[in-house]
Structure 1
């Protein structure tokens, strides 16, 4: 497939050039109170917003575009992704499709041979569980692929990294190097680092990586925007950016090249102060870009056993994971950001981390400090008593349905048959009244939101396994999942008045797809192909 993006036609304010009328569409949208509504077309004003929806047989004056009977949906929104990570993964070594360590090593060796000018070989995507290993890979194994240059490969979840011996040496990591707070250096029986670093320990290597050039950053963002448009995303909540990335986003927005609406989360309190010292930016550049949110980390990830658990891991009885931030530090940061009007989104995967974050939000509220749409990013393993607290405290559950179907091979091994009942508990959260926002955590998972919709309603992977769904009692209905990726994500991004539905007055962000989402078998949802993507009444992607 060749991706075609109409960057040059976009205006920085996001307005259309003339009134456009879409006819002959099989349209679906949620209305402003959450009901599913059908329509046959829509009128887009010269400001790029929806004037009104068309009934069967209706038309209007303007530039008429015949949808050819294809299904038209509001543009989908990913409430938790990593835009630059997506772009760089496409340009660096990608191990996400490898199924054995030998295959991964061959890929690394091939990429290194093709890039002799690179001082470091950098990539992402390995997963020892998918490889059938009951351990982490080692530096010695990676040396087989590349020994003459440093190699650094982030795990699929981004919470562990794999270094070869040259990378450990370049980073000064030895048996005497202590574990940093909130991190762990994997070691052998003699205390020698084995090559894998967990959570904050990753920074020991990452601070030595070559800084990407301006051209590399631009190429990564352009690539990411192409991928995003091609899968039907018109909005992304970027879960942790630095000051330089904000500057690049602003540059693209000013030049009319930002083909997705990006709600940026500052990566920590220091970054927040550097980017937005006067408070939230609000939505800028025709609602293309905002920094209203800070992202904090409470713990690590389940796959690397860094998620903080109330009780030890079932498959590692000496380990309860890692709390990266808790107690007074966590509460002070939440209170400080909230007092300045920022939304606080906190990564929490283990049941201990989720409880600590909920407790912290509750404590801040008891102090009389209002919270701006607080969110727990992932909310993956929850103690049953904590599920109902999301709605009571007004905390958004920002979930990634494909995590459930990707993690099913290891999740129950990690937490056992009882705790898994509170794992990936999307239906229970919906039934409790919690607000749900849907995402993917790309590039940890593919950016395609139809993969997420499929996982949410079937609890199956894209091979149809398991046949009856993995803990299928936690499956969402299609309308609930659709809402998570439209109105739910719009709310989580403080943009529900502008996007998420195709009701009059909102931006004309929509997609045309190759099948009827609401009539096809649920098992086929992941196969949906996006034919066109429109942003503010302008076509930004067409599938050739």
Structure 2
């Protein structure tokens, strides 16, 4: 069944746009957000890929009497959902990598052993998704545990957040990492009592090993991106903001665009670490809000993540008082990289998780804002995860966008208190506080760190519970969103964060007919069931590109 669905989705995604008569879809429960309210409707007319009208079927039936009609059979219709922070290459590569998400240590080691049996001699065993926080003792694993498997392959496994990696001795040897190797600034090599590397590399130290791993070719990246398109469309995503790409991935996107092989909308952020960063900035924006590929922003990561204790904190970690996390760039270099972007009229999107990182990023964005209106740039703080309470109002004062991932809160709920203590949780995952002060939230998932399914995000945003229903009354529920707010964060405000709200984000006349049909009404069912809702159809520019 899964293979048939994938093939169907792939074929539909490859369908090229063709001229068509007016289409009237009806007999559904429709919802969309506008600047003023949540709008309900049960019919929509579209033509040539754009919406003509939404409203009551009786009226539209008469108005568009010659239209081709589609009976939605009582299902629920929403604007196409937008993930404002995902990693398309990582999503597309999941089938090629060992996925260790939700695995115990014992299950991880068994899966690694099994994966090795499938590899060619000399091939690297690559994977991601392990999370020591969910294991008994919550301790980082070590190279000895991998070496004990007696696998004759170099092994490199990235942590679930992508901010730490786990290597065996063979991989460390191939990368030239030993007792004398010094970690780069913004990185850490964990060591045992004798000073030997344990096999865990954090943040910038991962680059020491990554350089030994064979890089994917351009053709392989194009194939991975196409896999990601198929997956995203099957989940109801009609647009994704790709949070940090290098020059080769940009080339892959541009070639796919020329081949008319991008079946959805992609808003990539150019990584500041990209080869030819300055040259690419000077070349200017790529595409426009109307095109499937539109690039006018950059991505910089200020710090690491909470789970690997790389998030930069103002005060030490509650569960490790000798550590405060890592800044991935010196403050002055960070500012110069951001200024290079704004000097070339690029929006800046900055990863900041810890309260120190958020404080520094706010300072930098305030400095940038003095010369040109922030409302023109629409600068974003990606994650905005742990914010000192007195810094929260600065988001509104600087007209910033908070690009946040609801499922991070429900995944981190058990770990965040350990890392931060109760006091700093007040400014953590503070969605409602930000919304109440007028700060727009562009919602996403950070896939493949979290699952790409946006229904999981709508569920987490409104319940503050995980998909098993824990905790039963929700975690810090004062910061939960209403369902209307969550829908807006995954549609209109995500579109605004990508300078695209005039063409997508809802189904107002003149905008693209990007929409989805769901098997259940998320506004009528128990909120704990939202994550189980299935996408039946996905439409982009009035063309059905996925059918369940």
TM interval, short-chain normalised? over 0.9
Partner Cα distance (1:292, 1:541) in 2: 28
Q: CA deviation at 1:412?
A: 0.4
2:531 to 526, 531, 534: 526
Q: CA deviation at 1:326?
A: 4.3
Measured against aligned partners, the alpha-carbon deviations of 1:460-493 in whole angstroms (never above 9, x if no partner) come to 0000000110111111111111110001100111
Question: Greater CA deviation, 220-229 or 403-412?
Answer: 220-229
* Residue 52, structure 1, aligned to residue 53, structure 2: yes
Kindly indicate whether the alpha-carbon contact (under 8 Å) linking 2:313 and 2:357 is maintained by their aligned counterparts in 1. Answer: yes
Which residue is 1:36 aligned to?
Answer: 38
* Residue 241, structure 1, aligned to residue 241, structure 2: no
Query: Alpha carbons of 1:456 and 1:110: their partners in 2 closer, same or farther (altered >3 Å)?
Result: same
Query: Alpha carbons of 1:532 and 1:368: their partners in 2 closer, same or farther (altered >3 Å)?
Result: closer
* Residue 112, structure 1, aligned to residue 113, structure 2: no
Kindly indicate whether the alpha-carbon contact (under 8 Å) linking 1:234 and 1:535 is maintained by their aligned counterparts in 2. Answer: yes
2:512 to 502, 507, 516: 507
Q: CA deviation at 1:283?
A: 1.9
Partner Cα distance (1:324, 1:147) in 2: 33
Q: CA deviation at 1:88?
A: 0.7
Q: Secondary structure at the match of 1:239?
A: strand
Question: Greater CA deviation, 505-514 or 202-211?
Answer: 202-211
Kindly indicate whether the alpha-carbon contact (under 8 Å) linking 1:269 and 1:294 is maintained by their aligned counterparts in 2. Answer: no
1:25 to 25, 28, 31: 28
Measured against aligned partners, the alpha-carbon deviations of 1:315-355 in whole angstroms (never above 9, x if no partner) come to 01110000112422222222221121100000000000000
Partner Cα distance (1:52, 1:520) in 2: 27
Q: Secondary structure at the match of 1:388?
A: helix
Measured against aligned partners, the alpha-carbon deviations of 1:44-101 in whole angstroms (never above 9, x if no partner) come to 112x010111413232223322111110000000000000101112221000131x11
> What is the TM-score normalised by the length of structure 2?
0.95
* Residue 482, structure 1, aligned to residue 482, structure 2: no
* Residue 93, structure 1, aligned to residue 95, structure 2: no
Q: Counterparts in 2 of 1:163-178, with a 5 A limit?
A: 163-178=167-182
Which residue is 1:186 aligned to?
Answer: 190
Kindly indicate whether the alpha-carbon contact (under 8 Å) linking 2:222 and 2:256 is maintained by their aligned counterparts in 1. Answer: no
1:336 to 340, 359, 362: 340
2:282 to 277, 282, 291: 277
Partner Cα distance (1:426, 1:209) in 2: 38
Which residue is 1:134 aligned to?
Answer: 138
* Residue 250, structure 1, aligned to residue 251, structure 2: no
Kindly indicate whether the alpha-carbon contact (under 8 Å) linking 1:168 and 1:174 is maintained by their aligned counterparts in 2. Answer: yes
Which residue is 2:429 aligned to?
Answer: 424
Kindly indicate whether the alpha-carbon contact (under 8 Å) linking 2:218 and 2:248 is maintained by their aligned counterparts in 1. Answer: no
Q: CA deviation at 1:117?
A: 5.0
Q: CA deviation at 1:21?
A: 1.9
Kindly indicate whether the alpha-carbon contact (under 8 Å) linking 2:25 and 2:71 is maintained by their aligned counterparts in 1. Answer: yes
Partner Cα distance (1:527, 1:146) in 2: 41
Kindly indicate whether the alpha-carbon contact (under 8 Å) linking 1:383 and 1:419 is maintained by their aligned counterparts in 2. Answer: yes
Kindly indicate whether the alpha-carbon contact (under 8 Å) linking 2:127 and 2:156 is maintained by their aligned counterparts in 1. Answer: yes
Q: CA deviation at 1:367?
A: 4.9
2:157 to 141, 153, 158: 153
Alignment: residue pair count: 536
Which residue is 2:311 aligned to?
Answer: 307
Kindly indicate whether the alpha-carbon contact (under 8 Å) linking 1:387 and 1:432 is maintained by their aligned counterparts in 2. Answer: no
Q: CA deviation at 1:270?
A: 4.5
Query: Alpha carbons of 1:337 and 1:192: their partners in 2 closer, same or farther (altered >3 Å)?
Result: same
Measured against aligned partners, the alpha-carbon deviations of 1:403-433 in whole angstroms (never above 9, x if no partner) come to 0000112110001011111111111111121
Q: Counterparts in 2 of 1:47-86, with a 5 A limit?
A: 48-57=49-58, 58-59=60-61, 60=64, 61-86=66-91
Kindly indicate whether the alpha-carbon contact (under 8 Å) linking 1:246 and 1:275 is maintained by their aligned counterparts in 2. Answer: no
Question: Greater CA deviation, 246-255 or 16-25?
Answer: 16-25
> What is the TM-score normalised by the length of structure 1?
0.96
Kindly indicate whether the alpha-carbon contact (under 8 Å) linking 2:164 and 2:203 is maintained by their aligned counterparts in 1. Answer: yes
Measured against aligned partners, the alpha-carbon deviations of 1:227-277 in whole angstroms (never above 9, x if no partner) come to 101110000000001111112112222222212200000011655434343
Q: Secondary structure at the match of 1:244?
A: helix
Which residue is 1:536 aligned to?
Answer: 541
Partner Cα distance (1:508, 1:117) in 2: 49
1:345 to 341, 345, 349: 349
> RMSD between aligned alpha carbons?
1.6
